Structure 1
Amino acid sequence: MSQETIFTKIINRDIPADIIYEDELSIAFRDINPQAPFHALIIPKKAIATINDITEQDAPIVGHLYVVAAKIAKQQGFAEDGFRVVMNCNEHGGQTVYHIHLHMLAGKIMGWPPYQDKKKGLI
């Protein structure tokens, strides 16, 4: 399932994004609907639809996304305070764009377990 997504368009510079990091394997940009004071998406340049589509050969790419997350946390100044990274998979997991991506959230204390509260939003 390798269809062009909004992320492919960002990678190809067909649509704009607030890019905060880029290298040969990945790109990171601010989420247009932030759920925390800092909310970025870290994506591989290789199109992989879901976690279920990751192969053994993709392991270095997926691991690289976490290395990038650590770099961004240090650059943005919240590595020591902490942050959350999460990757959703398919509809019940909350995935809306079918190109794997890490959500990187920081700038507030994150609750656990996350839950939906109609008054407070995602915690």
Structure 2
Amino acid sequence: MSDATTSCLFCRIVAGEVPADVVRRDDRTVAFRDVTPKAPTHILVVPIEHTENAAATAAADPTLVGALVLAAAEVAAGEGIADSGYRLVLNTGADAGQTVFHTHLHLLGGEPQGWPIG
């Protein structure tokens, strides 16, 4: 691992160095429960490879963004929220609320999601 990834919390979760409640894993993504949930179902879907944010991921491998969304859809089905609906959020940058600078998609559901967000 590079210096950036050894200090990255999500890289450490992906590597199994930090415990997490993993609900899905494949060769490109890992999904785990958020430790500070904002909804009854709040799961983070991350790429295994470290990229800083969604824009960087899309630039490096546009198909990986689709893989994150497909993984989230499978998790939503497994959590029983696919039919009632769910929200997917990708924060890019500190002003958007990104606090861990490893691309991650928030899957939120299990209750009606209000608008605007926040």
- Using structure 2 for the length normalisation, give the TM-score: 0.91
- Per-residue CA deviations over 1:69-115 (Å, capped at 9, x if unaligned) read 11111111110000001010111000000000000101110111113
Amino acid at match of 2:42: H
For these two proteins, the number of residue pairs brought into alignment is 114
CA distance, structure 2, for counterparts of residue 14 and residue 41 of structure 1: 17
Structure number with larger C-alpha Rg: 1
Is 1:3 the counterpart of 2:25? The answer is: no
Deviation of 1:3 after TM superposition, in Å, equals 1.3
- For 1:49, the equivalent position in structure 2 comes to 52
SS at match of 1:3: helix
- 1:119 paired residue number: none
- Provide the TM-score with structure 1 as the length reference: 0.88
Matching residue's letter, 1:22? R
Q: CA RMSD in A?
A: 1.3
Runs of 4+ in 1 over 2 A off after TM superposition: 54-57
Matched, 1:109 2:112: yes
Q: Is 1:63 paired with 2:72?
A: no
Unmatched segments (≥5 aa) in structure 2: none
Match for residue 15 of structure 1 among 18, 38, 59 = 18
Question: 5+ residue gaps in structure 1?
Answer: 116-123
Letter in 1 for 2:4: Q
Using the aligned pairs only, state the percent identity. 37
Partner of 1:30: 33
Cα distance in 2 for partners of 1:105, 1:55 equals 22
Relative to 1, partners in 2 of residues 1:57 and 1:92: Cα closer, same or farther, differing over 3 Å?
closer
Does the Cα contact within 8 Å between 2:57 and 2:64 map onto a contact in 1?
no
